[in-house]
Amino acid sequence: MRCGLTTPNIPAADPFTQHVRPGGISRLFPIISTLRSYQRDWVLPDIAAGLVLTAILVPVGMGYAAASGLPAIYGLYATIAPLIVYAIFGPSRILVLGPDSALAAIIAATILPLAAGNADKAVALASMLAVLSGVLCILAGL
């Protein structure tokens, strides 16, 4: 004890600790395990975190969509849909997902020349690129 401060007796987190993966339906839908172990004390902090992330991700998603040459509304879709899907299928309760600025330039460089100024074609190409990227990630086991 120094300066009147005490350190609580909390065991150090071991990053190499083996965790048992759930089986059955909980393995496919980790949200089941998350909801079973969810504590009432987490509700208000989770709501606050959700509001903060919404305030940040909505304009960011719209901006990245515009930077990619797509209508801004598709930035909302690209922001909200992955969060909902990850909430159901993702194993981490605290992971934050969102659009990335590095991808905006790559998407724009890939799609804009192929779309030739046609917004509907740009949306279709971006959608195909997103699905293809998702399939490749699933096949790679990411």
Q: 112 falls in which pLDDT band (50, 70, 90)? A: confident
Q: How many domains does the chain have?
A: 1
Asked if residue 91 belongs to a domain, the reply is: yes
Rg (CA), the chain: 20
Q: Name residue, tokens 């065991």.
A: 11
Q: Give residue 127's domain range.
A: 42-140
Asked if residue 16 belongs to a domain, the reply is: no
Contact 98, 104 (CB under 8 A): no
Asked if residue 32 belongs to a domain, the reply is: no
Please give the pLDDT value at position 101.
75
Q: 104 in helix, strand or coil?
A: helix
Q: Bridge partners of 77? A: none
pLDDT tens sequence across 36-94: 888 899 899 989 988 998 898 899 989 888 887 888 898 888 888 888 888 888 877 77
Asked if residue 37 belongs to a domain, the reply is: no
Contact 68, 99 (CB under 8 A): no
Q: How many other C-beta atoms can be found within 10 angstroms of the C-beta atom of residue 55?
A: 10
Q: Residues 6 or more apart from 96 whose CB is under 8 A from it?
A: 53
Asked if residue 3 belongs to a domain, the reply is: no
Picking from 63, 91, 92, the residue whose alpha carbon sits closest to that of residue 78 is 63
Q: What is the pTM of this model?
A: 0.63
Asked if residue 75 belongs to a domain, the reply is: yes
